[in-house]
């Protein structure tokens, strides 16, 4: 049973319409940003390594010299976290990233 809408706190990811809302405000994402957010939301609370994210989103082997994941996370944060007091995307040093409500 696939959930069509993933919800984390006040963030809503509509997988069918490929739309994102936070606190009832629509947020426009690129296809890549949406894929990244969907991956994080589907595994809410789970720390995802850069290697795993790269293999899922970019379908390439992770090169430790590239900051493609960090750059993408930064762009995604700018859209879904920066304007809000409650942050949902968290960096786990030395491991990767996690999307979760820590309140």
For residues 103 and 62, which has the higher predicted lDDT (pLDDT)?
A: 103
Element (H, E) at 31: helix 31-42
* Domain range summary for the chain, segments of one domain joined by +: 5-99
- CATH code for the structural domain at 5-99: 1.10.10.10
- The helices-and-strands tally (H runs, E runs) of the chain is 3, 7
Whether this model's pTM surpasses 0.85: yes
User: Average of pLDDT values for 26-38?
Assistant: 96
What is the band of 58 on the pLDDT scale with cuts at 50, 70, 90? confident
């Amino acid at each position: 049973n696939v959930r069509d809408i993933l919800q984390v706190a006040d963030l809503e990811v509509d997988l069918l319409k490929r739309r994102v809302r936070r606190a009832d405000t629509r947020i426009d994402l690129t296809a890549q940003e949406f894929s990244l957010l969907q991956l994080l939301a589907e595994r809410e609370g789970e720390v995802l390594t850069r290697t795993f994210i790269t293999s899922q989103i970019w379908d390439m082997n992770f090169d430790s010299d590239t900051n493609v994941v960090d750059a993408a996370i930064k762009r995604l944060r700018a859209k879904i976290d920066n304007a809000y007091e409650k942050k949902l995307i968290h960096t786990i040093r030395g491991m990767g990233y996690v999307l979760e409500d820590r309140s």
